[in-house]
């Protein structure tokens, strides 16, 4: 579905992405992991068209994204920290995004209902807690039934109940055949979600493995222990 070929990006003297290659397939929930500064954010922003690589290509369903930016309508993006006009209410933000997307049919309101958003529609964005802002970001990311979901630290700031609701929604979307790319510093929360793991280091893919294979290769029962074991072994 999304193919990344020989992607390179430099900011000044810093080479952030180094001839990176990656294949992301529909029906997978892929955990994108790696230390701070490894290039995860730059890769995500390149896929979203927010960063222009110096060289290399990204194709979406076989078409170079530089030739057709309409692919973005097929991606739901949930940033780690959502930033919205402070003086707008939740209702106004949702209406604004609906207007921009110009989609009124097939809108998913599952998270909208599960998070109880209808009870706080008139609250101004500036008054919301971090967790409530995350709920709004999640609702917007999932609302238009996109083929691809890119979720950056999606449960950060959410209470345990809301985090569980979101995790169940991610699993449901994966089962529908969506491609889900998710970043998280909490490996334990990825245990029931990730079908594949991509680990980046210094702008390159250190390894890309199916979760069951990763556990089998390391002899570990949990994803967190498997990743730590593989990194310590130096065989990644």
Query: Which residue segments constitute the domains of the chain, with CATH numbers given?
Result: 2-233 (3.40.50.300)
| CB 179 within 8 Å of CB 27 | yes
The model's confidence at residue 92, banded by pLDDT at 50, 70 and 90, is very high
Q: Residue 236's pLDDT is what?
A: 67
| CB 227 within 8 Å of CB 197 | yes
Residue 11's CB: how many other CB atoms inside 10 A? 10
Q: What is the pLDDT of residues 65-91, one digit of tens each?
A: 998 888 999 999 999 889 999 999 999
- Contacts of range 101-105, beta carbons closer than 8 Å, 24 or more positions apart: 101/73, 101/144, 103/144
The model's confidence at residue 100, banded by pLDDT at 50, 70 and 90, is confident
Any alpha helices (H) in 35-129, and if so which ranges? 40-48, 90-101, 110-114
Residue 162, pLDDT above cutoff 90: yes
């Amino acid at each position: 579905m999304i193919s990344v070929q020989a992607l390179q990006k430099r900011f000044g003297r810093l080479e952030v992405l180094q001839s990176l290659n990656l294949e992301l397939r529909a029906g997978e929930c892929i955990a994108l992991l790696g230390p701070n500064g490894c290039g995860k954010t730059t890769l995500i922003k390149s896929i979203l068209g927010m960063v222009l690589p110096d060289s290399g290509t990204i194709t979406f369903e076989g078409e170079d994204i530089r030739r057709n930016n309409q692919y973005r309508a097929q991606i739901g993006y949930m940033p780690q920290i959502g930033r919205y006009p402070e003086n707008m209410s939740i209702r106004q933000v949702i209406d604004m995004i609906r207007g921009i997307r110009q989609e009124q049919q097939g809108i998913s309101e599952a998270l909208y209902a599960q998070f109880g958003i209808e009870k706080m529609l008139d609250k101004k964005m500036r008054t919301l807690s971090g967790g409530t802002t995350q709920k709004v970001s999640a609702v917007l990311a999932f609302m238009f039934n996109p083929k691809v979901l890119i979720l950056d630290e999606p449960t950060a700031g959410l209470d345990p109940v809301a985090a569980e609701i979101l995790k169940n929604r991610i699993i449901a979307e994966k089962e529908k055949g969506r491609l889900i790319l998710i970043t998280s510093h909490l490996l334990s929360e990825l245990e029931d979600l990730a079908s594949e793991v991509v680990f980046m280091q210094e702008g390159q893919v250190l390894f890309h493995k199916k979760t069951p294979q990763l556990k089998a290769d390391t002899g570990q029962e949990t994803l967190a222990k498997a990743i730590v074991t593989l990194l310590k072994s130096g065989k990644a």
